Amino acid sequence: MKKNVKDIMTYFIGSLFPMFIGFLSSPIFTRYFTPDEYGILGLINITYSYINVFFISWISSCLWRYYNKFKNKNELSKLLNIIISIFFINCFILIISGFLITYLIPSLNEYMILLLLKNIALLTGGFVGYYLIILRLEGKAFKYVFFSSSVAYINFVIMLLLTFKFSWRIEAFYFSQILSNFPFFLTFLLYIGKNTTEIKPFKILLNEKKILKEMFLFGIASGLTIITQYLLSSGDRYILKIFRDLSELGIYDRVYNISNRSVFLLIGVFFNTFNPFIYDKLENDIKNIDKHYENLIPKYILFIFPIVLFVSLYSKEVAFILLGEKFRIGYTIIPFVVFGTFFMGINTFFEVKLKFTNIKYVLRGYIFATIINIILNFIFIPKFGYYAAAFTTTLSNFILLFYLAYKSRIFKLKYILINKINYTIPLIFLGISTVSFFIVRLFFNPNLLFSIIEGCFYFFMYIFITIKLNKKLLK
């Protein structure tokens, strides 16, 4: 069996547990916490997403970009020293900033503990995230799955104890993250000690100014791109807060996260498997990357699109199972969210290539899409609320997809799916399934059990047809 087949099965099976935990926690905690509390939680999480860019995410981008370069030169020790030096400087700045913000803005004093816990959770989670990136780049699928699944399990158990045993409120979200990340925070420190010939944090920052400058410039460009990504996907929360109430924001944020997670975890499985291959080719064989993309993108579509389609068709049932009663009203936005996430996954192919060739196009594309999204949100959210927010975000991601694909100069992709019958037949079956779905509902209103059986039948038939026609799909 080919390595990528083993890896994709490992990542898929491994993702089922965190996915199950995530879906199990939603109906539990949406019955315990109020929409207003989820509104506060959503605003804090989104705000810290932007803070995360300056302190955590740009380092992650540099790891993805430069790991193979340092490894090929047998200089991983140098890279690890740089990473740990910058990280601990950022720790100091972020914690001090947290106290200063609450001092300068007295209205935030009531959230001081919550913000402090979020600071620590952000730092520990970011540090563990660096280790997970290295495991993915090294192709260590089982180890990655073990660590990520363990974090999810420990976090869930601690969250249950804090809420139902000790009656904590939303601060339990962040404290459970800190405790679940801490063992793996120590594990990464041990990894650094083992793989670093000499640990000399801060000193290396003075001795490696050239590579630091290169990494910093790349990090700035990546950071600006990430900020625009966040604005594109979550900037609508601030506009909702301006024009609508906190409860509506809480409903939108919870439904959006559940919908996004249902697809994004599988997208993660795909890219966890193929990212080591993609980054290796971009570093060492970039002239042939288009040929590899022409093989990978159809696989992505065949693997991810059926999930997107069936989650969209059965959005009402998904909301009934995964959300508390007060949140289920938002089920109508689920199709927009999952399709937007699907487009974001395709964008990743073109974005990664452009980061190695001409990163300015990535930044321009995201800025353009974000401006469109913000303008449309200000126009339509006051009247249509979170329905407009979900639709405009999906539309903006679709526009971004065409821009990045055009700038990537990959033209043959549009012919791949229609020229190969082993790709078109599974997609035709999805079309037939969709038509059947609506015909059934013209004559009667099926109950939850019927919908589950019907959806499973369509899904497993698709799997059977796809595998039958594409026995070498993952080779």
Task: Give the number of domains in the chain.
Answer: 1
Q: How far apart are CA 163 and CA 160, in angstroms?
A: 5
Predicted local distance difference test score (pLDDT) of residue 362: 84
In a domain, 453, yes or no: no
Burial grade of 417 (CB within 10 A; 0-12, 13-18, 19 or more): middle
Predicted local distance difference test score (pLDDT) of residue 239: 87
In a domain, 108, yes or no: yes
Q: How far apart are CA 36 and CA 387, in angstroms?
A: 19
3-class SS shares of the chain: helix, strand, coil, % to 5? 90, 0, 10
The conformational region for residue 247 under phi > 0 = left, psi -120 to 50 = alpha, else beta, is alpha
Q: Are 377 and 392 in contact (CB under 8 A)?
A: yes
Q: How far apart are CA 231 and CA 223, in angstroms?
A: 12
In a domain, 443, yes or no: no
Q: Which domain does 121 fall in, by range?
A: 32-234
Q: How far apart are CA 278 and CA 141, in angstroms?
A: 16
Predicted confidence (pLDDT) per residue in 212-232, tens digit: 777 777 777 777 777 887 788
Q: How far apart are CA 347 and CA 362, in angstroms?
A: 10
In a domain, 297, yes or no: no
pTM, entire model: 0.70
Predicted local distance difference test score (pLDDT) of residue 474: 47
Q: Which parts of the chain sit beneath pLDDT 50?
A: 1, 415, 474
Strands (E), 83-180: none
Q: Are 100 and 93 in contact (CB under 8 A)?
A: no
Predicted local distance difference test score (pLDDT) of residue 23: 67
In a domain, 225, yes or no: yes
Predicted local distance difference test score (pLDDT) of residue 305: 92
Predicted local distance difference test score (pLDDT) of residue 378: 92
Q: How far apart are CA 409 and CA 406, in angstroms?
A: 5
- Output the CA–CA distances (angstroms, integers) from residue 222 to 68, 354, 369, 416, in the order listed: 18, 11, 16, 30
One-letter identity of residue 181: N
In a domain, 342, yes or no: no
Q: What angle do CA 12, 315, 270 make, to 5 degrees?
A: 20
In a domain, 341, yes or no: no
In a domain, 7, yes or no: no
The conformational region for residue 74 under phi > 0 = left, psi -120 to 50 = alpha, else beta, is left
